[in-house]
Amino acid sequence: VRPAPHRLRSACAAQTPRALQDLQALLRLPSVADQAPFVTATAIAVADLCTRDGAEVLRLDRGGGFPAILARWRGRGPRTLLLYNHYDVQPADPEGWASPPFAPTLRGGRLFARGAADNKGDLLCRLAALRAWTAFGGPPCDVLLLVDGEEESGSPSLRGHLADPAAAAWLAAAEAVIWEFGGREPDGRPDLYLGVKGLCELVLRTTGAAALLHAAMGAIAPSPAWRLVWALGALKGPDGRVLVPGFHDAIRPPTAVERAAAARLPLDEADLRARWGVPALLREGGADPRDALLFAPTWTVTELRAGAGAPAVLPREAVARLDIRLVPEQDPARVAALVEAHLAASGFADVAVDYLGGEPAHRTAPDHPFVAAVAAAARQAYGAEPVVHPTSAGSGPMALVAGPRRLPVVSAGCGYWGAQAHGLDENIRVADFEAAALHMALLLQRFAEG
Ligand SMILES: [Zn+2]
């Protein structure tokens, strides 16, 4: 059975009400890392949804931490598509929300809740696409759905979970991956993302005297704050250049096709300057801000701390947290080792370097046939030309899921430019939810035939 596109469209539309109900039930569970019982309950709820929708389900927990759910739908064709989502969400302080973050609310065609966009909405619109196919005898290809429970914390247990032999056997069949997120531009065009940046998270720590001293003793007692600032200065210069030897060695520069895709991306510099309240955008890593955002590694100091604000006290410790975004072929653990070695060689052996963890980058070539299939399905579902981002500026366990075979991965989903993922009043638009479900349903057909 090869349903006509309009029949698939009405089948998806018919699934929307129930999918939105199931979505709201998931959104009522605050699956925030520090609320373990709710995270576990959400894993069970996701597994139940998949089971009820006809999938075989594995609960993966050999990596420790919160479980991942792996579901498999047997389709009618020989091919296997893997979908990646996550059921954990960012914390949400109800302060500032128009309606409570864990009381999902429909207002003006939008569904508001923490996790609506990131990432439970995408999970449910993919289930809606699979449900739409039941009217036509089931999905046209095998579908695997991997639902991570720790994405917002860097997926520390996922590698261990995926070592489960049953999971590994299922995943060995996957030929391509649809990643968790996506959205629409203000002009309605759908966004496709072909990769993520890598991440290396470091904490640098300096210590001074064991005793709490008057600031005047700074004349003869060491200052951890100065030590830390000088150490940071040894890592990156005021001109933006990273001074760590070897840091750039492994970098694979962007290809001509990736550069061309980046050059076509909408980026309104004046609008960003106005909205962010900054006089100019930085240009580290290229003449165009897109180059810095997508193709250059980025060093961001996300925390810098010394003292408790008391005047005339010499702090005993200073701490900096570094968020280093990586590009393809850089290895996060190696970056951490290079930083430590460079600090030691520059006279900062006293600076303790703690590697909190990381993930390598992953990118799929814009001219890969799988990208063409996802783009063609998007044209059909949205009636608009997709905007192809050669990579997202964000990170995630994409390289791990793509595996040593480096499967092609494309990210597409039901968000939009105003979805406020991680922010206040996170929301999705119901119309986008339905369109994204149709996109997935159409993609299954194209993929099965490809
Ligand atoms: Zn996410």
108: left (phi over 0), alpha (psi -120 to 50) or beta: left
Pairing of strands 387-389, 190-193: parallel
Instruction: Identify which of 38, 57, 28 has the alpha carbon closest to the alpha carbon of residue 149.
Output: 38
At 326, which helix (H) or strand (E)? Answer: strand 317-326
Place of tokens 């192809």: 388
At residue 287, the pLDDT reads 79
Burial 226-257 (b: 16+ CB within 10 A, else e): ebbeebbebbbeeeeebebeebeeebeebeee
Peptide bond into 119 cis (omega under 30): yes
**For residue 205, how many other CB atoms are within 10 A of its CB?**
17
Q: Ligand 1 mean position to 150 CA, how many Å?
A: 10
Q: Ligand 1 mean position to 294 CA, how many Å?
A: 18
At residue 232, the pLDDT reads 98
Q: Ligand 1 mean position to 440 CA, how many Å?
A: 18
Q: Ligand 1 mean position to 378 CA, how many Å?
A: 21
Q: Ligand 1 mean position to 182 CA, how many Å?
A: 10
Q: Ligand 1 mean position to 116 CA, how many Å?
A: 10
Tokens describing residue 158:
């996922």
Determine contact, residues 179/85, Cβ cutoff 8 Å.
Answer: no
Burial 348-365 (b: 16+ CB within 10 A, else e): beebebebbebbbbbbbb
Burial 405-439 (b: 16+ CB within 10 A, else e): eebbbbbbbbbbeebbbeeebbbbbbebbbbbbbb
Distance between CA atoms of residues 376 and 151, nearest Å: 29
Distance between CA atoms of residues 381 and 437, nearest Å: 9
> pLDDT tens, position by position, for the chain (450 residues)?
689 999 999 999 999 999 999 999 999 999 999 999 999 999 999 999 999 999 999 999 999 999 999 999 999 889 999 999 999 999 999 999 999 999 999 999 999 999 999 999 999 999 999 999 999 999 999 999 999 999 999 999 999 999 999 999 999 999 999 999 999 999 999 999 999 999 999 999 999 999 999 999 999 999 999 999 999 999 999 988 999 999 999 999 999 999 999 999 999 999 999 999 999 998 877 778 999 999 999 999 999 999 988 889 999 999 999 999 999 999 999 999 999 999 999 999 999 999 999 999 999 999 999 999 999 999 999 999 999 999 999 999 999 999 999 999 999 999 999 999 999 999 999 999 999 999 999 999 999 998
* Amino acid sitting at position 121: G
Q: Ligand 1 mean position to 45 CA, how many Å?
A: 18
Q: Ligand 1 mean position to 312 CA, how many Å?
A: 44
At residue 398, the pLDDT reads 98
Q: Ligand 1 mean position to 245 CA, how many Å?
A: 33
Q: Ligand 1 mean position to 151 CA, how many Å?
A: 7
Place of tokens 């597994």: 47
Q: Ligand 1 mean position to 33 CA, how many Å?
A: 14
Q: Is 173 exposed, middle or buried (0-12, 13-18, 19+ CB in 10 A)?
A: middle
Q: Ligand 1 mean position to 119 CA, how many Å?
A: 5
Which residues are CB-contacts of 39 (< 8 A; sequence separation ≥ 6)? 31, 32, 33, 66, 87, 88, 149
Q: Ligand 1 mean position to 117 CA, how many Å?
A: 8
CA angle 127/129/132 to nearest 5° reads 110
Cα–Cα distances in angstroms (integers) from residue 159 to residues 59, 181, 278, 403, 427, in the given order = 14, 21, 40, 10, 30
At residue 1, the pLDDT reads 64
